[in-house]
């Protein structure tokens, strides 16, 4: 009996560094989800830059809720209308410092920074922002259910 406990403790002790390393490197299913949501983030940004709402239609849930840096909320159709009409117009945007946390098989949270140049309702919104996007997997597809942006104060 003592040997079984010793073997179990030894096996767990040897496996822990491997489990931790796998989690840090993002292997397996987690790495696949990370790659998928990062690709979606880039597709959405490219679509917004081109005022192409078909990407938003595809990658936002039907009950999407966006919270802008001004604190105003928008549903999917309102956000798409702003992009399509040019009310929201990004001339350029660069994403950086993207981190993905997969919390269960059907949900992931993405946090990243953007450096944007553009206008919203004719007002200059150029600057740096921190974004938080909540992805859910529905019908086998990853989509953004909620996003929130905060402008980073200039130092």
**Domain assignment of residue 128, yes or no:** yes
| Confidence band, pLDDT 50/70/90 cuts, at residue 10 | very low
Residue 18 belongs to some domain of the structure: no
DSSP per-residue letters across 12-81:
HHHHHHHHHHHHHHT-HHHHHHHHHHHHHHHHHHHHHHTT-THHHHHHEEEEEEEE-TTS-EEEHHHHHH
Q: What domain range is 138 assigned to?
A: 31-151
Lowest mean pLDDT among 20-29, 31-40, 109-118: 20-29
**pLDDT given for residue 154 in this prediction:** 85
Q: Rounded CA gap, 17 and 78, in Å?
A: 48
Residue 67, both tokens: 């919270």
Domain membership of residue 17 (yes or no) is no
- CA 101, CA 96: separation in Å to the nearest integer? 16
**Residue 12 is assigned to a structural domain of this protein:** no
Let me know if residue 25 belongs to a domain. no
The average pLDDT across 7-31 equals: 47
129: domain CATH number is 3.10.450.50
> What's residue 155's pLDDT?
80
For the chain, the domain total comes to 1
Q: What is the pLDDT of residue 11?
A: 38
The structure's pTM equals 0.80
Residue 15 has pLDDT above 60, yes or no: no
The tokens 């073997």 sit on which residue?
7
pLDDT in the model for residue 104: 84
Rounded CA separation 71/82 (Å): 16
Examine the pLDDT at 23 and tell me if it is beyond 90. no
- Cα dist from 134 to 34, 77, 122, whole Å: 13, 18, 28
């Amino acid at each position: 009996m003592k040997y079984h406990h010793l073997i179990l403790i030894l096996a767990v002790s040897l496996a822990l560094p491997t489990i931790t390393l796998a989690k840090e490197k993002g292997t397996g299913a987690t790495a696949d989800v990370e790659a998928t949501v990062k690709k979606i983030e880039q597709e959405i940004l490219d679509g917004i830059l081109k005022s192409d709402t078909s990407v938003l239609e595809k990658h936002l849930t039907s009950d999407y809720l966006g919270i802008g840096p001004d604190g105003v909320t928008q549903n999917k159709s309102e956000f798409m209308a702003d992009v399509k009409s040019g009310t929201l117009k990004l001339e350029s945007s660069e994403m950086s410092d993207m981190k993905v946390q997969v919390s269960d098989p059907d949900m992931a949270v993405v946090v990243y920074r953007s450096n944007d140049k553009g206008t919203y309702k004719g007002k200059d919104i150029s600057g740096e922002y921190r974004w938080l996007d909540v992805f859910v997997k529905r019908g086998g597809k990853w989509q953004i259910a909620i996003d929130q942006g905060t402008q980073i104060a200039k130092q």
